[in-house]
Amino acid sequence: MADDPTKQDQTDDTDEGTVDWKAKYEEMRTHARDWESKAKANKDAAQELEKLKAANLSEQEKAIARAEKAEAELQQLKAQAERAQMAQRVAAKTKLPLEVVQTLNGEDEESLVKQATALKKLVPNYPNREDDGGGNTNAKKTNADRFAENLGL
């Protein structure tokens, strides 16, 4: 029966020949409590790390949202600048005032030119007399000159 494993578990190779099971139990219990306290400390540290990651992630999400908002605003500003340049080109082509062309709703330059041309047919030409400072940039008298002249200055 020397091969019987249950008999070997009950004996110890100590000088006394008997095993102090209570002492072994207390030793293992202490060892288990040490590991339990380490596991709890690790769990707390892991939870703290997760909180930091969550806070950091929310900061990243905030930064991403701000970047997306800035990109959208940049695209809007670029579209407005392109629209202004397009309105200037159309105004130069059709000889309509820029303010009038800016009120048109064409999406591209071709549609703006069509609208401006149609509008120009409906609106009479601006006065181009030299005495009233109209559309001619080489006017001899300006409104300020006529005003001063009427006051006798």
Q: What pLDDT does 74 receive? A: 97
Say if residue 116 is in the same domain as residue 55.
Answer: yes
Say if residue 43 is in the same domain as residue 116.
Answer: yes
Say if residue 139 is in the same domain as residue 65.
Answer: no
**Which tokens sit at 105?**
């709703």
Number of domains in the chain: 2
Asked if the structure places residue 6 within a domain, the reply is no
Residue-level pLDDT, tens digit, the chain, 153 residues? 455 555 555 544 555 568 899 999 999 999 999 999 999 989 989 999 988 887 777 778 888 989 999 999 999 999 999 999 999 999 899 888 888 888 888 889 999 999 988 888 877 665 544 444 455 555 566 666 666 676 665
- Whether the CB-CB separation of 90 and 116 falls below 8 Å is answered with yes
Q: Is the dihedral of CA 64, 65, 70, 71 positive or negative?
A: positive
Report how far residue 147's alpha carbon sits from residue 107's, in angstroms, rounded to the nearest whole number. 43
